[in-house]
Amino acid sequence: MEKNGYIFTRGKSKRYYVQYYVNGKKYAAALRDQDGQPITSRKKAEYAARDFLHPLEAATKADQLKKVREAVEDAEARAERLAAAEAERRRAEEERTRNERAKIADGWRLFMLCPKRPASCKRHADAEIPRNSTAGNYRAYFEHFAAWMNEERPKAIRLADVSPDDAADFMEHIRSRSAPGTFNKYLQFLRLLYDVLIKSGKLNTENPFSEIDRAEQRYNSKKPLTRRQIVKLISQADGELRLMIALGYFTGLRQGDVCTLLWGEVDLERGIIERITRKTENTVRDPNDAIVKIGIAPYLARMLAKIPTSKRKGYILPELAAMYLGDRESAINKRVCALFTRCGIPVRREGTGGDTGRRAIVETGFHSLRYSYISHHAEAGTPAPVIQKNSGHKNPAMTEHYMRISDTAAVHYAAALTLPAPEDDTIDVEAVEVEPERERLRQLAASLPLETVRRILIEYAGHEIELR
């Protein structure tokens, strides 16, 4: 054996050991093979001892240190490999555990626990989410998805079990029963659901909805109403519905804002309504930038003035406010649709809904009053920025989407090149307040020569300047 050490056995075990010296001190170590098993063969023991003693047999101290360092580095590399393998095993176990916990049945609860969920889902506790809110719609989308998965893919228990094919099949299910806009809302939410859960560390998988394309959407804008139709709606409505229709037309506010309008937001002396709309109240940074300031038209001012001062507290429409805030908006919609039908204004496009077997396409409703507000203001020459601010639109494109060139506007533009056409016969509408002086002035204006009309307008403009 080499001079720096030798091999030997102890007792009857036949296991080989190596004895060696370092700095005059004697040491012994058991010899083992690459699998860590004791060596019982002398030949194998000699090879193992040679490898073991090799660093100690170096010719110089520098060589000895080099050999020891190489041996240590090999041990460290082996330790790193073992540590990396252990970390990967733990990561896989954590991933499996995380995905096991994220069951489809618990999906909504997990989503609502995520700090990265959108602001619309942070405004209310889960048990207090209004049904007609954005969060309420999201919850309904998820419940529909969970029910479909339970029915059609019962073996898929976890959210991680939902494959891209499952996601595509569910969205086809939605497409076959809904309008493109509804399809896109489902898709947007389900993508959001997975993204939020993944980013929050509650789920470790690919988003199965990420590769599904949005549906091509043809916008079916509700039609603006004629002035005669609006007058008829107001005259035929009863109770709070009459003032609701008038507020909808003369303010352009959405149904929720009209139903929850407060007397504190109405200043009859100034002739102004100031309100932060429900759609923006929780998203704006500076409330002053979100205030919608609307002038009160004379017609609306007279209706509001008829309400006794003693009753000008709280909500202007207390009954409708209670219905809206109590998640009974559908009941309000039914009353509005019944009024439209009573006034001979079709609510649905002909050939859709009912027994036709086709999805109902709603063409008119309360939102038509908002369209009418914007369109009629545009016809009257109200500056577009004023319309945009009053309607609560964030960009001019949305205001343009609401604007329509009506028959009145088309005739008005044509009048610049041709003689005015005679007006159609007027219709009588019950319970409509008509000012005889204004009616007489209108008739005179229609009969006067154009030059006389221009002279009157110039004189009136000068008088108006003096008053200022």
Strands 25-30 and 16-22: antiparallel
Does 93 map to a domain? no
Do 340 and 278 fall into the same domain? yes
Same domain, 299 and 277: yes
In a domain, 240, yes or no: yes
Give the C-alpha distances (Å, rounded to integers) separating 274 from 248, 340, 386: 15, 28, 14
**pLDDT by 10s per residue, the chain, length 468:** 344 678 888 877 788 888 887 767 788 888 888 878 888 888 888 888 888 777 666 544 566 666 666 666 666 676 677 677 767 666 656 665 565 778 999 999 999 999 889 988 888 888 888 877 889 899 999 999 999 999 999 999 999 999 999 999 999 999 988 888 899 999 999 999 999 999 988 888 899 999 999 988 665 555 678 888 999 999 999 999 999 999 999 888 889 999 999 999 999 888 888 888 887 766 656 666 667 888 888 888 899 999 999 999 999 999 999 999 887 888 999 999 999 999 999 887 776 666 666 666 677 888 888 888 888 777 777 676 666 666 554 554 444 444 444 444 434 433 333 323 344 444 343 444 445 566 566 666 666 677 777 777 766 655 444 433
CATH number at residue 309: 1.10.443.10
Q: Are residues 375 and 293 in the same domain?
A: yes
415 with 356, same domain?
yes
Give the residue among 55, 52, 76, 50 at the shortest CA–CA distance from 65: 55
Instruction: Identify whether residues 308 and 185 lie together within a single domain.
Output: no
Is 131 inside any structural domain?
Answer: yes
> Does residue 446 form part of some domain?
yes
What is the count of structural domains for the chain?
4
Tell me how long the chain is.
Answer: 468
d(CA 160, CA 157): 8
Same-domain check for residues 444 and 413: no
Q: Are residues 16 and 48 in the same domain?
A: yes
Assigned domain for 210 exists:
no
If asked whether residues 332 and 365 sit together in one domain, one would say: yes
Residue 290 in domain: yes
Q: Are residues 427 and 438 in the same domain?
A: no
Q: Are residues 191 and 252 in the same domain?
A: no
The two three-digit tokens of residue 423, written as one number? 């007006």
- The reply to whether 247 and 137 lie within a common domain is no
Instruction: Write out the residue range of the structural domain in which residue 24 sits.
Output: 5-57
**Residue 78, domain member (yes or no):** no
Chain centre to alpha carbon of residue 19: 76
Residues in CB range of 77: below 8 A, 6 or more apart: none
Q: Are residues 252 and 291 in the same domain?
A: yes
Residue 410 located in a structural domain: yes
